[in-house]
């Protein structure tokens, strides 16, 4: 066991440490590391909860939105000073801006080992039905330029799926010392017990979880629901998540109200008992445009639900087509509806494919296995 070692983990919102890094922090503590959790968006209760995990919360400044070079450079130098005072043995950054500026700050602070983890490439790298807007193309060019400067400084860069390094590194000739594919950040499977659905009665219930933005495929889900409802009007389509008024092309509240009043969808909003809703559903649907490896799909798989999702980066990592669900082409609501109808007309497939999802989740998404792979990558 390595003792008296220090690791700085740089993220953004404090919630991400609490919900997605708690098990990793626990493992690092077991290995004798002192863990510093750098967060730029938090409240005092969240900082206290990070302390309860055993980590030391550290606040820092990060402009999560825009790309103001002067502001970002100032922020990077301040962050570098904070890191230098702590003199960690390793810095691990995740999310785009922390990876870019956290990496440069760590190198300025002369940290011996610097690791970055990109859990997805984000909006600027997500194909759109009508192509990327000029503004998005500009943002992408700036991001690529910043990645070209920062990523070669890393000892290791971690991706969740094998498509992302091709679309970022290969496509833009960015050289990185070492690249690893983690395959998902994992779930504590103790919180997602398998729930059998042997006795299946109509109507079949389809569930979507995510922000109600076009990139998550919300419009395709709704269009498919309308198609299915014409043939099987009692079918239930439930949406969990919140609208995002700032998202261009996202589902608007007025549209949502119309869908609810016309009985196209069931909308409980954002809930804190996701496991219960997954257990009460038959099939999980995520027609997203691009993901790292979607957590909501992993949760549905762990509980034992078949998946219908798009054949795009990240999403395709969760489905073996025809085994635990179906992959459909992106932006194709008719294809989505056809697979929904398949489950309605072949309900015996729901239990069978759901159990295959469960087996895949046990093998690929168990947080203990994932964290062991991550610790090996980190050299812990």
257-279 per-position pLDDT tens digit: 999 999 999 999 889 899 999 99
For the record, the structure tokens of 295 come out as 């957590």
What domains are defined for the chain? Answer: 5-186+366-378 (3.40.50.2000), 189-364 (3.40.50.2000)
Residue-wise pLDDT for 185-243, tens only, equals: 999 999 999 999 877 888 999 999 999 999 999 999 999 999 999 999 999 999 999 99
Q: Is the pLDDT of residue 2 over 60?
A: no
Distance in angstroms (rounded) separating the CA atoms of residues 245 and 213: 9
Q: Is the pLDDT of residue 105 over 70?
A: yes
Distance in angstroms (rounded) separating the CA atoms of residues 154 and 224: 43
Burial 65-102 (b: 16+ CB within 10 A, else e): eeeeeeebeebbeebbebbeebebbbbbbbbbbbbbbb
Contact assessment for residue 101 and residue 75, using Cβ atoms and an 8 Å cutoff: yes
Residue-wise pLDDT for 324-348, tens only, equals: 999 999 999 999 999 999 999 999 9
Question: What confidence score (pLDDT) does residue 65 get?
Answer: 60
Q: Using CB atoms within 10 A of its CB, is residue 208 exposed (0-12), middle (13-18) or buried (19+)?
A: buried
Residue-wise pLDDT for 148-196, tens only, equals: 999 999 999 999 999 999 999 999 999 999 999 999 999 999 999 999 9
Distance in angstroms (rounded) separating the CA atoms of residues 376 and 39: 25
For the record, the structure tokens of 350 come out as 């729901």
What Rg do the C-alpha atoms of the chain give, in angstroms? Answer: 21
Average pLDDT estimate for 102-125 = 96
From 299, 235, 243, select the one nearest 273 (Cα to Cα): 299
Q: Is the pLDDT of residue 1 over 50?
A: no
Please provide the average confidence, as pLDDT, over all residues in the chain.
Answer: 94
């Amino acid at each position: 066991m390595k003792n008296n070692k220090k690791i700085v983990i740089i993220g953004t919102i404090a919630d991400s440490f609490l919900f997605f890094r708690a098990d990793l922090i626990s493992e690092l503590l077991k290995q004798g590391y002192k863990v510093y959790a750098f967060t730029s968006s938090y409240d005092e209760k969240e900082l206290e909860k990070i302390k309860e995990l055993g980590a030391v919360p550290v606040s820092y400044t990060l402009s999560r939105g825009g790309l103001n070079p002067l502001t970002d450079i100032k922020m990077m130098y301040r962050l570098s000073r904070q890191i230098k005072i702590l003199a960690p043995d390793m810095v691990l950054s995740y999310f785009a801006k922390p990876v870019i500026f956290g990496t440069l700050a760590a190198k300025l602070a002369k940290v011996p080992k610097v690791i970055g983890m990109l859990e997805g490439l984000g909006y600027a790298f997500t194909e759109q039905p009508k192509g990327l807007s000029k503004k998005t193309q500009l943002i992408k060019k700036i991001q690529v330029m910043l990645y070209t400067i920062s990523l070669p400084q890393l000892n290791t860069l971690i991706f969740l799926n094998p498509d992302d390094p091709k679309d970022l590194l290969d496509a833009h000739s960015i050289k990185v010392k070492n690249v690893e594919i983690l395959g998902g950040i994992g779930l504590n499977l103790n919180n997602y017990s398998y729930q059998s659905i042997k006795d299946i009665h109509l109507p079949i219930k389809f569930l979507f979880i995510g922000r109600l933005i076009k990139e998550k495929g919300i419009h395709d889900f709704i269009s498919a629901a309308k198609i299915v409802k014409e043939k099987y009007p009692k079918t239930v389509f439930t949406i969990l998540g919140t609208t995002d008024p700032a998202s261009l092309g996202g589902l608007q509240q007025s549209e949502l109200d119309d869908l609810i009043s016309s009985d196209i969808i069931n909308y409980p909003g954002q809930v804190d008992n996701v496991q219960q809703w997954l257990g009460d559903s038959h099939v999980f649907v995520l027609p997203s445009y691009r993901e790292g490896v979607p957590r909501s799909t992993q949760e549905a798989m762990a509980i034992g639900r078949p998946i219908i999702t798009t054949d795009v980066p990240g999403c395709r990592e969760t489905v073996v087509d025809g085994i635990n669900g179906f992959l459909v082409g992106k932006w194709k609501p008719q294809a989505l509806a056809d697979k929904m109808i398949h489950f309605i007309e072949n309900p015996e497939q729901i239990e069978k494919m759901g159990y295959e999802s469960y087996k895949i989740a046990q093998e690929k998404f168990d947080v203990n296995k994932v964290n062991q792979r991550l610790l090996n990558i980190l050299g812990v």
